[in-house]
Structure 1
Amino acid sequence: MLKVKHLYHSYQKNDQYAVKDISFEIEKGKIFGFLGPSGAGKSTTQNILIGLLPLQKGEATIAGINIQNPTEEFFNLIGVSFEQPNLYKKLTGYENLEFYRKLFRVPTADSRALLKQVGLEEAADKKAGSYSKGMQQRLVFARSMVNNPQMWFLDEPTSGLDPATASNIKDIIWRKKQSGTTIFLTTHNMHIADELCDEVAFIHDGKLCLIDSPRNLKLKYGEKLVRVEYRDQDNLKKENLSMVNEKDKQRLTKLISTGNIETLHSQEATLEEIFIRVTGRGLE
């Protein structure tokens, strides 16, 4: 669905590149996480792919369409949810979606149904300028679904949202994937990436460091340990036991047989821990 080869971009139009020699592919119906800290090149890459920045060097196609010469068909098939809300604040939420809906020449979703989907049905007829930041973010998210996009770009879709709302947004993303939508998810939130993504790419200082599935990365960089908490009379005790060491395996079997275990957790690495190990820095 999306193919990128040797992508470069310089804001100074010299050899100081914000993104350097980036190449990746996303299969149709997959969620691809583009992960990295602020300033790593995530938004630059996305803005090139959606046509907000010119393609200076390299190749990129979406559904076979060269993004260097985007057509009306190109804009009809993509949807974009920006991190920073960009709305017509003197229009109501409903009017914002209705205005946007008329820009497309493909079947579009019902505006009020979209507002209900993101929990804004009661605010549909209020001006967007009166919305809280979280409500505006949800309106931008709803707007990105108006044209039923085949290729959906999401930039920090759950940032700043309360847990219940964020959970609803993640459910919508998952259902879209199940219906065949291809999703490019830009984030520094490793938890949402781990939950949703089929494949993730780590970007650092404009370069791709690693691409793989979250599961493969955790297996490769994690330790084969289990952390056990158990009761020994009135005392709570903890042990880290290897799943490959024979002595530790026997010890684990013995603890399980006593029935005194309270918690048992595998000790795979988190995506954030892997990112720090690969790049040497965190995700601030």
Structure 2
Amino acid sequence: MIHVKNLSHSYNKDDKYQVKDISFEVKKGEVFGFLGPSGAGKSTVQNILTGLLQLQEGEAVVADYDIKNISKDMFNKIGMSFEQSNVYSKLTAKENLDFYSKLFDVPTVDSKELLSLVGLEGKENIKAGEFSKGMKHRLTFARSMINNPELWFLDEPTTGLDPAIAADIKDIIKRKNAKGVTIFLTTHNMFIADELCDRVAFIVDGEIKLIDSPENLKLQYGEKLVEVNYIEDNEVKAETFSTILPEDKKALQTLIEKHNIQTMHTKEATLEEIFIKVTGRGLV
């Protein structure tokens, strides 16, 4: 669904590039995470792929359309949910969606159905300017689904939302993906990326450092440890063992045989820990 080759971009059109010679592909039906701290180049790439920024150097094909010659038909196939809500404050929630639906040449989803889906039922006739930040974000998210996109660009889809609503948004994303929707997820939230993405790309200072699945990254960079809580002398004690070192494996077996085990679980590196290890940078 997305093919990018040797993409570079400079806002001042000089030798100071915000995106530097990056290449990647997003397969049909995949959830692809584009991960990095603020200023890494995530939004720049996303804006180029959605036609908001002009392609300067390299090649990009989105939903089978060459970005160098963007066709109106491409926008019938893609949806975009921005991190910063850009709704019309003087229009009601329903009016916002009804207006947007008229921009497409394909069948659109009923606005009330979408508002209900994102937890805004009963708010149809309230002006968007009266909404809280989180409600505006949900309205923006609902709007991105109105044309039943085949390729869905999501920029920090759960930012500013309480945990319950964020969980609902993630469930919607999973359901859409299960129906075959390809998703390009831009975020610095490694937890949502770990939960939703088939593959992730780490981008720092405009360069992609690696691309792989969260599972493979954890296997490659994880410490492969087991943490055991057990009873000894009527006290709960804890020890950590390597699952690779022979002496640790032997000691773990002895502990299991001699003591009452309360809990035992593997210690897995988080995506954030792996990101820092690979890039040497945090996510702030």
Normalising by the smaller structure, the TM-score range is over 0.9
Pairing of 1:177-188 with structure 2 (within 5 A): 177-188=177-188
Name structure 2 gaps, 5 residues minimum: none
Write out per-residue CA displacement over residues 195-249 of structure 1, whole angstroms, 9 at most, x where no aligned residue: 0000000000000001000000111011111111222233221111111233322
Task: Say yes or no: does 1:173 pair with 2:176.
Answer: no
Task: Say yes or no: does 1:241 pair with 2:241.
Answer: yes
TM-score by length of 1: 0.97
Write out per-residue CA displacement over residues 43-75 of structure 1, whole angstroms, 9 at most, x where no aligned residue: 000000000000000100012210121111111
* Kept after mapping to 1: 8 A contact 2:231/2:259: no
Question: Residue type of the partner of 2:45?
Answer: T
Q: Which residue of 2 aligns with 1:148?
A: 148
Task: Say yes or no: does 1:48 pair with 2:48.
Answer: yes
Q: In the aligned structure 2, how far is the partner of 1:140 from the partner of 1:262? A: 47
Question: Residue type of the partner of 1:66?
Answer: D
Question: Residue type of the partner of 2:30?
Answer: K
Q: In the aligned structure 2, how far is the partner of 1:256 from the partner of 1:90? A: 66
Pairing of 1:110-125 with structure 2 (within 5 A): 110-125=110-125
Question: Residue type of the partner of 2:54?
Answer: P
Q: Give the superposed CA RMSD.
A: 1.2
Q: In the aligned structure 2, how far is the partner of 1:265 from the partner of 1:150? A: 39
Write out per-residue CA displacement over residues 157-202 of structure 1, whole angstroms, 9 at most, x where no aligned residue: 0111111111111010011111111100000000000000000000
Deviation at 1:254, TM superposition (A): 4.1
Deviation at 1:263, TM superposition (A): 2.7
Q: In the aligned structure 1, how far is the partner of 2:259 from the partner of 2:104? A: 62
Q: In the aligned structure 1, how far is the partner of 2:43 from the partner of 2:263? A: 40
Write out per-residue CA displacement over residues 8-37 of structure 1, whole angstroms, 9 at most, x where no aligned residue: 000010110000001000000000000000
| CA separation of 1:18 and 1:251: change in aligned 2, threshold 3 A | same
Question: Residue type of the partner of 1:248?
Answer: D
Task: Say yes or no: does 1:100 pair with 2:100.
Answer: yes
Q: Name the count of aligned residue pairs.
A: 284
Q: Which residue of 1 aligns with 2:24?
A: 24
Q: Which residue of 2 aligns with 1:61?
A: 61
Task: Say yes or no: does 1:3 pair with 2:3.
Answer: yes
Deviation at 1:259, TM superposition (A): 7.0
Q: In the aligned structure 1, how far is the partner of 2:135 from the partner of 2:162? A: 11
| CA separation of 1:258 and 1:144: change in aligned 2, threshold 3 A | farther
Q: In the aligned structure 2, how far is the partner of 1:219 from the partner of 1:201? A: 16
Q: Which residue of 1 aligns with 2:276?
A: 276
Task: Say yes or no: does 1:220 pair with 2:220.
Answer: yes
TM-score by length of 2: 0.97
Question: Residue type of the partner of 2:218?
Answer: K
* Kept after mapping to 1: 8 A contact 2:153/2:184: yes
